[in-house]
Amino acid sequence: MGYGTEKYPTEQIGPRARPLQKRLAKSRRAGLSVSGRVRSMTFGNYLLKRWLPLVETGLEPCTSSSYRAMSRLYIIPRLGQVRVGRLDRHLLQTFYGELLHQRSERTGRFLSKGSVIRVHCLVHSALQDLVQSGELATNPARGLRPRHTKSERYEYRIWTHDQLLEFLNAASSDRLYALWRLLAYSGMRRGEAMALRCNDLRLGQRQVAIRRALSIADREVYVTRPKTDAERVIELDSETVHVLRSHLRRNHLTESSDHWLFVDAADELLRPANVSHWFQDLLARTDVPRIRLHDLRHTHASHLILAGANMKAVQERLGHADLMVTLNIYSHVLPTTQRNAVRQLERFYSRS
């Protein structure tokens, strides 16, 4: 039965009950339950005073901070004074469209579609809890997706292998050289590399285990589960193994130690923002194109695909939740790999 199409058989009720039946039908079409308890509640009050305090008990600090930031920056200014019962699909779709033309307070760039989808997921979850509790008949956010706009997405940049080598050569004397090398040749996320302990290394097997990640919330650094909540093991190339062994020796560490692998000058956990700033400082000393630190991950993944790596292996190495995520992000690389595949097929047939 579709949204707003419920049927109510009037022949089963008496004349005195028909006004109630009409109000019932109207409230359900608006998304309200029979009780109507949400009619006097603004969406802002519901989010800040009821829903967030309840769900925060089961969230990581960084996730809780993200939810509050999304509510404060994007949801409350536009939907905070709207009563829950008056939220409908048109209003929410218009809201998402406006967000796609809003600039981020942190970066100054237009919000990406991914950011707007995260806002949508929060709105949907908050309303769905009202459905589950019987206070809302239907969820007006169900099935909605932010529409595509040309300005929505940051186009990541990748380096050629020569450019990558030029950067690493310039960074070879840096105290965090092993971190830059590991990020460039493993594809792991910044927070995953920063949360490594020495005993996560299995250098004899040329492997490293990713068990946790570093994140920041309200200016505090937290150790959390990896992004997709799944541990994984990454294979390392021989030069990266050599660099990591040198890093351990130079810092008087061993693979059996529980000490953090990468720390600051005060032997404290690195702060993510500082690492990104240091990366940009190193870039300024070179002639290679400017990229974000996260683009080292995209560079690694693109090089793997161009080298002929299996897409499933790339997905597992990057720690994506499923293969479609990897295919969607790196679809621009696939035409080149298809051309290479056809050439290989032609060579195979020519030998037959």
Contact present, 92 and 101 (Cβ < 8 Å): no
* Residues spanned by the domain of 197: 161-341
| CA 128-132-136 angle, 5° bins | 70
Element (H, E) at 168: helix 161-170
Residue 284 lies in a domain: yes
Distance CA 21, CA 1 (A): 19
For residues 206 and 114, membership in a common domain is answered with: no
For residues 123 and 250, membership in a common domain is answered with: no
The sign of the dihedral angle between the CA atoms of 267, 271, 272, 278 is: negative
Contact present, 324 and 311 (Cβ < 8 Å): no
- For residue 80, with 0-12 CB atoms within 10 Å meaning exposed, 13-18 middle and 19 or more buried, which class applies? middle
Choose the final residue of a domain: 92, 112, 132. 132
Look up the CATH number of the domain holding residue 186. Answer: 1.10.443.10
For residues 65 and 167, membership in a common domain is answered with: no
Of 92, 195, 101, 179, nearest to 144 by C-alpha is 92
Choose the final residue of a domain: 112, 132, 152. 132
For residues 238 and 101, membership in a common domain is answered with: no
Q: How many residues does the chain have?
A: 352
- Cα dist from 346 to 235, 281, 306, 337, 340, whole Å: 32, 47, 18, 14, 10
Q: 3-state class of 213 per DSSP?
A: strand
Please give the pLDDT value at position 329.
82
Look up the CATH number of the domain holding residue 107. Answer: 1.10.150.130
For residues 213 and 261, membership in a common domain is answered with: yes
Please give the pLDDT value at position 107.
67
For residues 295 and 169, membership in a common domain is answered with: yes
Residue 109 lies in a domain: yes
Residue 255 lies in a domain: yes
Radius of gyration over every alpha carbon of the chain, rounded to an integer in angstroms:
26
CB atoms within 10 A of CB 170: 17
CB atoms within 10 A of CB 85: 21
CB atoms within 10 A of CB 234: 20
Please give the pLDDT value at position 246.
97
How much is the pTM?
A: 0.65
Contacts of 322 (CB under 8 A, 6+ apart): 315
For residues 81 and 171, membership in a common domain is answered with: no
Phi-psi map region of 101: left, alpha, beta (phi>0 left; psi -120 to 50 alpha):
alpha
Mean pLDDT by 10 residues, the chain (352 residues): 31 40 44 53 92 86 85 93 92 90 74 84 92 89 71 70 96 96 96 96 97 80 80 95 97 95 92 93 94 95 89 91 84 71 73 68
Residue with tokens 């769905």: 128
Please give the pLDDT value at position 3.
29
Residue 264 lies in a domain: yes
First to last CA, the chain: 58
Distance CA 248, CA 255 (A): 8
For residues 217 and 126, membership in a common domain is answered with: no
For residues 242 and 294, membership in a common domain is answered with: yes
Quote the number of domains for the chain: 2
Phi-psi map region of 167: left, alpha, beta (phi>0 left; psi -120 to 50 alpha):
alpha
